[in-house]
Every structure is written in structure tokens, then in C-alpha cells.
Amino acid sequence: MGDEAARMPAPSASASTHAALDAAAATAPLLRITDLNQYYGGSHILRDVNLELREGRICCLLGRNGVGKSTLLKVLMGLVAQRSGRIQLGEATLGTLPAHLRVQRGLGYVPQGREIFNRLSVEDNLLCGLAGLPAREGSRVPAWIYGWFPVLERMRSRKGGDLSGGQQQQLAIARAVLARPRVLLLDEPTEGIQPSIIKEIGRVIRRLAREEGVCILLVEQYYDFAASLADDYAVMSRGQIIDQGPASQMAHRNLRALLAV
Ligand SMILES: Nc1ncnc2c1ncn2[C@@H]1O[C@H](COP(=O)(O)OP(=O)(O)O)[C@@H](O)[C@H]1O
Ligand SMILES: [Mg+2]
């Protein structure tokens, strides 16, 4: 015991950093994933996943193609069934709750590949994001969303399918944000998108967390983008979380190499 204590590294973070970390640790998690397992047929994909997400914080989930990142988000949304384990949003256990009721409880989802409606106008795509709200709020696209995404106002009567990939990604994020999520799950929002729009998307994600207190789980393979936004990180390999911690540790973990294909 005494030897172990002597080998502990000297604290390197400042007192204020410690205070901030302690404060974050003291808040109860908003989304808590415990021993989550999932199978596609006979293939065991998610293996005893444990993860806790807190209000106003951005957690980046990193990992190579095919390790189960998107599957995790689909299970969280209730689009794919879990085999065992527990997902809690606040005090409530989600269990077998269907996706649309998870949205009403405060889960938002921006799927990989965006999945906007190509034949609907931008405005009608946005109205879909309001579907779960009371009728009074759900009949018109509120002006504030165009303040967040000015490009969508200019494009409001265009067809979704006529937008660039980056604009479609912004549309998909706006649609999810309109439902006022407490937790937003984003699946590779930078995939195939030009740098100027990646920056804008980064600004929106940061603002959602910092100003609105939204808890964000960001799946990413673009390391620099993830590192620029993360408060916390987790790494998935073959359906397991193999490493996690505060973003200050990311640089020391050689994660960039881990993501290289
Ligand atoms: N609908 C499905 N049916 C069967 N296997 C699937 C299905 N979707 C994904 N998989 C498999 O599950 C594994 C994890 O996929 P996925 O969650 O998409 O990984 P990631 O998002 O990390 O790239 C992969 O081996 C993939 O081939
Ligand atoms: Mg994926």
C-alpha cells in the first residue's frame, strides 16, 4: 500500500481544473448506459458497454469502422433492440420504449448519412422535427432555428435532395435540435463534408452544450474535430469501450493512430 502511494504521479492539473472536474463528477449523469449488450442474429456486437453522459458536456466516441458505434446510437434510440443491460435517461429506464417516445423524453438523433427527406422542402424537413411537440408549437418552423442555421433560411423552399452534403447535414442537425433534446446523439456529422461547413457544425455543437446545456454524444472518426470539441472521450473497439476519460487525456493516448485505417 505504502509503495503504491509513493508511486502515484504528482498532480499536474491546476487547482481550478480539479475543481471543474470535481464539479462535473458531482452532477448525476443524464444518460447512463450499464452493461449493455446487443446482437445482430448470432453476432455479438455491443459487449458490456458502460458509459455516463452529463448535462452540458460533449463526449466523443471514437473508433474504427465496424466496431459498433452506430449500433450503440441505434440501441440508445430504440431503433435496434438491446439483449441485456440498462439505459437510463435521468431517473427513467428506457427499456423497450419505442423511438418516438424516446424523442419525446428528450433524446435527439442525427443518423450517419443524414437521412433527410430528399423530395421534401427544407421547411417541410424541419417540420418533421416538430412532429413530437404540442400542435401549437408544431405547425410552424420557429425563426430561431434559422438564426442557428442561416443557410437553411436561404434554402427553405429548396428540396432536401438538392442541397449540398454539408447543407443536408446542417438540415439533419436542425431537425433534431427543433425537438429540443436534452441529449443529442450525432453519428459522424463531418463525414464527407467540406471544412468550412465542418467549422459551422462545430460551432453549433459547442453552443448547444455550452449555452443550452444539451448533453452530446458525438461519434467521430475525424480526430481533430473530436478533440476540438470534446469534454470527455471514449474509445470503442469490437463493441467494447476500451478507454475513456477527460479530453485532457486524449492527446496522450495516441488515438489518432488508433483511428487511422
Ligand atoms: N443491420 C445489420 N445487420 C447485421 N449486421 C449489422 C447491421 N448493421 C451493422 N452490422 C454489423 O455490426 C457491426 C457494427 O456496425 P456499426 O455499428 O455500423 O459500426 P460503426 O458505426 O462503428 O462503423 C459491423 O460488423 C456491421 O457489419
Ligand atoms: Mg457508423
Largest CA distance in the chain: 70
Ligand 1 pocket: which of 43, 45, 220 to mutate (most atoms within 8 A of CB): 45
The model carries a pTM of 0.89
Taking the centre of ligand 2 as the mean of its atom positions, its distance from the CA of residue 157, in whole angstroms, is 30
Average pLDDT of adjacent 10-residue blocks, the chain of 261 residues: 41 51 70 98 97 97 96 98 97 93 95 93 93 73 94 96 96 95 97 93 97 97 94 96 94 78 53
Residues with CB under 5 A from ligand 2 (ion): 69-70, 112
Q: Are 46 and 75 in contact (CB under 8 A)?
A: yes
In this predicted structure, what is the pLDDT of residue 84? Answer: 98
d(CA 187, CA 198): 14
Task: Count CB neighbours of 102 within 10 A.
Answer: 22
Residue ID of nearest Cα to ligand 1 atom 25: 66
Taking the centre of ligand 1 as the mean of its atom positions, its distance from the CA of residue 50, in whole angstroms, is 19
The 10 Å CB-count burial string (b at 16+, else e) for 20-53 is eeeeeeeeebbbbbeebbbbeeeeebbbebebbb
Q: Are 109 and 77 in contact (CB under 8 A)?
A: yes
Domains, the chain: 28-117+180-259 (3.40.50.300)
Ligand 1 within 6 A of CB of 235: no
Taking the centre of ligand 1 as the mean of its atom positions, its distance from the CA of residue 191, in whole angstroms, is 17
In this predicted structure, what is the pLDDT of residue 129? Answer: 87
In this predicted structure, what is the pLDDT of residue 139? Answer: 80
